[in-house]
Amino acid sequence: MFISNAYAQAPASGGGDPMSLTIMMILMFVVLWFVMVRPQMKRAKEHKALVEGLQKGDEVVAGGGMIGRITKVSDAYITLEIAENTEIVVQRQAVQTVLPKGTLKSI
């Protein structure tokens, strides 16, 4: 009595203009490129430059949080002195960051 009847709406026809769907898809790929792909490529380029610039005496943080001073550098590996008379060999790609000189005083 007080509640009116509810009727289903008629189904929508078609799906709209196919050109607008194409434009939306292109716009979505452009946004994904600028939000996800481009920053990742920039980070990879910066890391490659960091790894190529490693020198003997640099203080670095390697993968897993190992901190040490570089004592030997080869094409694929570096040797880190992590404590007095304690050296480990790690891949160059495992270096995450270069620390400022003088950060490690105990080694």
Fold of 55-99: SH3 type barrels. (2.30.30)
Residue 80: C-alpha distances to residues 1, 12, 53, 55, 94 (Å): 85, 67, 15, 11, 11
Q: pTM of whole model > 0.75?
A: no
Model confidence over 48-93: pLDDT tens digits? 999 999 999 999 999 989 999 999 999 999 999 999 999 999 999 9
pLDDT mean over 3-26: 78
